[in-house]
Amino acid sequence: MKQQLQALFRQAIESLIADLGVDTPPPETVQIDEAKDPKFGDFACNLAMIMAKPLRMPPRKLAQALVEKLPDSALVDRIEIAGPGFINVFVTAAAQQQIVPTIFAQGEDYGHDRSGTRGSILVEFVSANPTGPMHVGHGRQAAYGDALANILAAAGWTVQREYYINDAGRQVDVLAVSVWVRTLNCSGRLPAPLAIPSRGYPADYVEQVAERLLATGNEQWLPAALDVSDLPPDDASDKAQAERHLDAWIRKAKATLGESAYAELRDYAIRDQLAHIHQTLDRFGVRYDRWYSERMLVESGAAAKALDSLRDSGHVYEQDGALWFATEKFGDEKDRVLIKADGAATYFANDLAYHVDKLARGHKTLLDVWGADHHGYIARVRAAIKALTGRDDALNVQLIQFVTLSSGRMGKRSGNFVTFEELIREVGVDATRFFYLMRSNEQHLEFDLELARSQSNDNPVYYVQYAHARIRSVFRQAAERGIEWNREQALGKLERLTETHEKALLAALARYPEVVNNCALNSAPHTLTHYLRDTADALHSYYNAHAFLVDDADLRDARLALVDATGQVLRNGLGLIGVAAPEKM
């Protein structure tokens, strides 16, 4: 309806400007807002307020002139001018009721544009290091990234989902050593247990990996003896000293096991953790089109090629034995190291090559979902893209703020943190997804465990799902009473939908396509959860105020058509955020 009204008012302002004989251009877009109070109509237009100054007319006089220029339309019942020049539009009942056959005709496609004609977007999200279980913060990224990808696809973009596996660099060596030390301890072959490096990975899951490694029966990782007396001391209170101790352990592991066995150990640990990440995301309903390996990026030569390109373009320089990228001239706060003095590539060196590779694959836009602690990383990645491709509009980064848990105990914890998997077990997939998405990604989220577990109207996901289940219950009751309902016949009775609750519900259903589009444009899935809650509220209010299975067959058919259409919209919206629409509750 908004688009139709925008077109009508655009015709009106263009016609008026022509009659006035002025060169003033009309606004690029005509703003149409939903009225906050039904007594002021269904929609309001501020066009007279916007154009009064450029056209040198009092706003109320201009509003009256615009109303006189409006083309006739079956959409408009009447128009009122209010205040200093607001134009309030009352739409016809027939126009409101028309949304029901539209929903029935389009079904699962109502509000969705599957054309993919708005461009290609690669959405990279979660990408948690394969060095341990995902925590609840990763879960919020999973819910947000997956829902946003669904919404973008429903709003006309071609979307690909990608997980970037950070399986190169020092962190995987730290994982390998953390697993190896525990494997040696679990084997019982050493005279005394080895001390766990303070800067290694400390949680219980590492010991579980070691136990699974031992269960393979492969003993190549179990030397007959191991001398660790030459390792520098470990001091947890001195970070630099603790890191030197850990680096010495990595060298010890490589020297003791040999290149091949060490690589097998490292790869086993990575595969083990990736398997658990796969399993958790699969349970959460998250699917990726591609899992992209950082190590493969390096081994393919793509990372070296990107560095060569930067060298050839004069954007790098050497200082203090390291290779630096002059990112400051591209908008970063300072230059960044690409290759450290010891010859090791930084994470940034590989990551810039990865982003260039994503663009080279033909994606128009890169949408990255990162944790809030990566805020300072955005400028340097944009600098790299600008230096290597000339584009400064390719990267859209959405930061996910932190998650805290409240109002309830977890049944079990892995090490010293709550895992994403444990949260799913506690409250279920649907509640986890909905609660993650209730607030903007830019806001901190306090996840209320007790509320998420509750079966009450205070629980927003329960409230929305119950609205759908309630609708299906009405149709089961009708069948039990022997009431036959024909959708096509019911469409001829929609003029009976005249009650205030019915008008409110019709207006809510008509808003759905715009909500989906705005969610996509603003990268804001939380606005869809708010819409679903509002629509459920309108349904529950309607249910409590009016009987549906009345004796008046025409009125009954019309009301059943309205709630059936409501159920379709609830299913469509819940589907975009990955939440089920149950038939019974």
Split at pLDDT 50, 70, 90, the class of 1 is: confident
Give strand ranges (E) for 36-181. 43-45, 76-82, 86-91, 120-124, 158-165
Tens-digit pLDDT profile for residues 536-552: 999 999 999 999 999 99
Split at pLDDT 50, 70, 90, the class of 140 is: very high
- For residues 381-398, average pLDDT: 95
Is a pLDDT exceeding 70 seen at residue 412?
Answer: no
Is a pLDDT exceeding 50 seen at residue 413?
Answer: no
Predicted pLDDT at 416 = 56
Give the chain's domains with CATH numbers: 2-91 (3.30.1360.70), 107-115+456-576 (1.10.730.10), 120-168+287-400 (3.40.50.620), 170-283 (no CATH)
Buried b (16+ CB within 10 A) or exposed e, 327-358: beebebeebbbbbeeeeebbebbbbbbbbbbb
Q: Both tokens of residue 532?
A: 């679903």
Predicted pLDDT at 407 = 62
Alpha helices for 362-459 (secondary structure H): 378-389, 420-427, 429-437, 449-453
For the chain, give the mean pLDDT: 94
CA angle 158, 519, 393 (to 5 degrees): 60
Amino acid type, 192? A
Phi-psi region of 129 (alpha: psi -120 to 50; beta: other; left: phi over 0): beta
Predicted pLDDT at 491 = 96
Tens-digit pLDDT profile for residues 330-357: 999 999 999 999 898 999 999 999 999 9
Tens-digit pLDDT profile for residues 390-406: 999 999 999 999 999 98
Predicted pLDDT at 453 = 94
Tens-digit pLDDT profile for residues 216-257: 999 999 998 899 999 999 999 999 999 999 999 999 999 999
Containing 370, the helix (H) or strand (E) segment is: strand 365-371
Q: How many helices (H) and strands (E) does the chain have?
A: 21, 14
Is a pLDDT exceeding 60 seen at residue 408?
Answer: no
CA angle 109, 442, 333 (to 5 degrees): 120
- For residues 469-489, average pLDDT: 96
Tell me the helix, strand and coil percentages in the chain, rounded to 5: 55, 15, 30
Q: Tell whether pTM > 0.75.
A: yes
Distance CA 582, CA 585 (A): 7
Split at pLDDT 50, 70, 90, the class of 411 is: very low
Q: Are 348 and 297 in contact (CB under 8 A)?
A: no
Instruction: Assign 227 to helix, strand or coil.
Output: coil
**What percentage of the chain exceeds 70 in pLDDT?**
98
Predicted pLDDT at 556 = 97
Q: Please tell me the least confidently modeled range out of 185-194, 450-459, 467-476.
A: 185-194
Split at pLDDT 50, 70, 90, the class of 494 is: very high
R_g of the chain computed on alpha carbons: 30
Q: Are 183 and 222 in contact (CB under 8 A)?
A: yes
Is a pLDDT exceeding 80 seen at residue 561?
Answer: yes
